[in-house]
Amino acid sequence: MSVHSTTVKPNTVPRLRARKGGEPVVVLTAYTAPMARLLDPHADVLLVGDSLGMVVYGLPSTVPVTIDMMIAHGAAVVRGAEKALVVIDMPFGTYEEGPEQAFRNAVRILQETGASAVKLEGGAVMADTIAFLTRRGVPVMGHIGLLPQSVNTLGGYAALGTANTDGWDAIVADAVAVADAGAFMIVVEAVSEPLAVRITESVRVPTIGIGASAACDGQVLVIDDMLGMSLRTPKFVKRYAELGGLIGDAAAAYAAEVRSRSFPDERYTYKLKGDNKAPQGEEKKS
Ligand code: KIV
DSSP assignment of 91-140, as one string?
Answer: PTTSSTT-HHHHHHHHHHHHHHH--SEEE--BSGGGHHHHHHHHTTT--E
216 ligand 1 Cβ < 6 A: no
**Which residue, among 95, 146, 98, 143, has the nearest Cα to 123 in the 3D structure?**
143
Closest CA to 89 of 53, 39, 131, 58: 53
Q: Which of 23, 82, 189, 266 is catalytic?
A: 189
Q: How far is the CA of 3 from the centre of ligand 1 (A)?
A: 26
In a domain, 219, yes or no: yes
* % pLDDT > 90, the chain: 90
Residue nearest to atom 5 of ligand 1 (CA): 49
With a 6 Å cutoff on the Cβ, whether 181 touches ligand 1 is no
Count of structural domains within the chain: 1
CA 250 to chain centre: 27
Question: Poorest-confidence range of 23-32, 64-73, 165-174, 267-276?
Answer: 267-276
Q: Whose CA is nearest to atom 3 of ligand 1?
A: 49
Predicted confidence (pLDDT) per residue in 184-205, tens digit: 999 999 999 999 999 999 999 9
> What is the 121 CA–ligand 1 centroid distance (Å)?
10
Instruction: Tell me, yes or no, whether 35 lies in a domain.
Output: yes
Residue 262 lies in a domain: no
| Pairing of the two strands 25-29 and 218-221 | parallel
**To test the ligand 1 pocket, which listed residue (26, 29, 207) has its Cβ within 8 A of the most ligand atoms?**
29
40 pLDDT above the threshold of 80: yes
pLDDT, the chain, mean:
94
Q: What is the arithmetic mean of pLDDT over 203-223?
A: 98
The atom number, within ligand 1, closest to the CA of 55 reads 3
More confident call, 3 vs 40: 40
Atom of ligand 1 nearest to the CA of 121: 8
Give domain status of residue 102, yes or no.
yes
Rounded to the nearest angstrom, the distance between the alpha carbon of 51 and the centre of ligand 1 is: 6
Give a yes or no: residue 2 inside a domain: no
Determine if ligand 1 sits within 6 Å of the CB of residue 222.
yes
Q: Taking Cα atoms as reference points, which of 119, 17, 153, 37 lies closest to residue 84?
A: 37
Quote the CA–CA distance of 206 and 43 in Å, as a whole number. 15
Residue 274's nearest CA partner among 286, 282, 284 is 284
- The answer to whether residue 109 sits within a structural domain is yes
Q: Is 45 in the pocket of ligand 1 (CB under 6 A)?
A: no
Question: Does the residue 267 lie in any domain?
Answer: no
Ligand 1 centroid, distance to 264 Cα (angstroms)? 41
List the domain range (segments joined by +) for residue 79. 13-241
Beta-carbon contacts of 97 under 8 Å, excluding residues fewer than 6 positions away, are none
For the CA of 27, the closest atom of ligand 1 is: 7
Residue 4, pLDDT score: 56
CATH code for position 168:
3.20.20.60
Over residues 75-113, the pLDDT tens digits come to 999 999 999 999 999 999 999 999 999 999 999 999 999
Are 217 and 25 in contact by the 8 Å Cβ rule? The answer is yes
pLDDT in tens, 148-157: 999 999 999 9
Spatial contact of 180 and 142, defined as CB atoms under 8 Å apart: no
Cβ-contact 51, 99 below 8 angstroms: no
Measured from the CB, is residue 225 less than 6 Å from ligand 1?
no
Q: Which atom of ligand 1 is nearest to the CA of 29?
A: 3
Q: Which of 93-97, 122-126, 269-273 shows the lowest mean pLDDT across its residues?
A: 269-273
In the annotation, is 189 catalytic?
A: yes
Question: What distance in angstroms lies between residue 101's CA and the mean position of ligand 1's atoms?
Answer: 22
Does residue 173 lie within any of the structural domains? yes
What's the Cα-to-Cα distance from 51 to each of 14, 43, 217, 265, rounded to whole Å?
Answer: 26, 18, 22, 41
